[in-house]
Amino acid sequence: MFNVIISSEPNVWETDQLMRMDVMRFKEYSGGPEADKVSIAKPDTWKLLEKAPTLLLYENQTRGQNAKIVRYGFVREVHVNPRYIFFHFQEEGRISRDVLLEFWTRLGLSTFEMNRTHWALKEGGIPSALKAKIVPYYDLVFSFAGEDRGYVEKVARYLRSKGVRIFYDKFEEAHLWGRDLAEHFDTVYGTSARYCVIFISESYVKKMWTRHERRTALARALKEHGEYILPARFDDTEVEGIRSTLAYISLKELKPSEFGRQILRKLGRETK
């Protein structure tokens, strides 16, 4: 079994806080023995929802910053009142709506369903071919020059040891193997992380790939009007698109572990 949760409300899924669905829309377009086990009136069955993978998306005609994005993950902390089902969403990855449409009949979706706010329980599993197209969702993505790898890798390893989900190329070699990197990096730096840490140096501004990563990240920051790019400076090199008024962290006298703790605080994590 897997969940499909669809909303028409723009940007309603753009949060890491509590989410909700009208109880009258629960189990629409559902059916089968697994779905039949779940009941709003039986709290002990709600754990079945949390064990099932979930696709979280918007109705076809919805507008918004990520209206064409489909999130993959798991619902957590499900609870109910007379009007709503409340839940948190643990996001693990994303695909585009176009990818979902390649599999919509195998997922048991219909045209009408894609234009209806509801929570469906589908029999079977999410196809492995669709799962293979999911781009992981990260707490952080790093953009840096190879010349600065020694410092950056120490930060990345420190953060990974603290449970931070991080896009760092050396951690992703198997996942990147055979992919179109330009297309993949557009997704990673454009939609697939909470923050992008840019390690600025003289070497950074000279690289083709860092330019591509930076432009993709800047496009997202401009669109969302929120905190996304977190500059960290090895030196005072000017970077096209990074405004001088954007607050940064100086790395000149900061150890990798110390910078890692700064990032943990930004993420709202314990730093002990």
pLDDT in tens for each of the 272 residues of the chain?
A: 999 999 999 989 988 889 999 999 999 999 899 999 999 999 999 999 999 999 999 999 998 878 999 999 999 999 999 999 999 999 999 998 999 999 989 999 999 999 999 999 999 999 999 998 898 889 999 999 999 999 999 999 999 999 999 999 999 998 888 888 888 898 899 888 999 999 999 999 999 999 999 999 999 888 877 789 999 999 999 999 998 889 999 999 999 999 999 999 999 887 66
Q: Show which of 91, 108, 131 is a domain's final residue.
A: 131
Query: What does the pLDDT read at residue 175?
Result: 83
Query: What does the pLDDT read at residue 17?
Result: 87
Q: Show which of 113, 131, 149 is a domain's final residue.
A: 131
Does the residue 221 lie in any domain? yes
Does the residue 178 lie in any domain? yes
Residues 62 and 124 in one domain: yes
Return the SS3 of 232: strand
Residues 126 and 163 in one domain: no
Q: Show which of 81, 98, 131 is a domain's final residue.
A: 131
Token code pair at residue 13: 């899924």
Return the SS3 of 26: strand
d(CA 216, CA 144) in angstroms, rounded, equals 14
Query: What does the pLDDT read at residue 271?
Result: 67
Residues 41 and 119 in one domain: yes
**β-strand pairing of 53-58 with 69-80:** antiparallel
Does the residue 272 lie in any domain? no
> Residue 65: how many CB atoms within 10 A of its CB?
15
Instruction: Residue count of the chain, please give it.
Output: 272
Residues 69 and 156 in one domain: no
Residues 153 and 115 in one domain: no
Residues 143 and 89 in one domain: no
Does the residue 107 lie in any domain? yes
Q: Which residues have CB under 8 Å from 150's CB, separation 6+?
A: none
Residues 231 and 256 in one domain: yes
Does the residue 271 lie in any domain? no
Query: What does the pLDDT read at residue 236?
Result: 92
Residues 11 and 87 in one domain: yes
Residues 178 and 94 in one domain: no
* Strand arrangement of the beta sheet that strand 193-200 belongs to: 166-167, 138-143, 193-200, 229-233, 249-250
Domain that holds residue 127: 2-131
Does the residue 219 lie in any domain? yes
Residues 100 and 141 in one domain: no
Question: Into how many domains does the chain fold?
Answer: 2
Q: Which of 93, 79, 85 is nearest to 117 (CA)?
A: 85
Query: What does the pLDDT read at residue 184?
Result: 86
Query: What does the pLDDT read at residue 191?
Result: 86
Residues 158 and 70 in one domain: no
Count H helices, E strands: the chain?
9, 12
Residues 86 and 50 in one domain: yes
246: domain CATH number is 3.40.50.10140
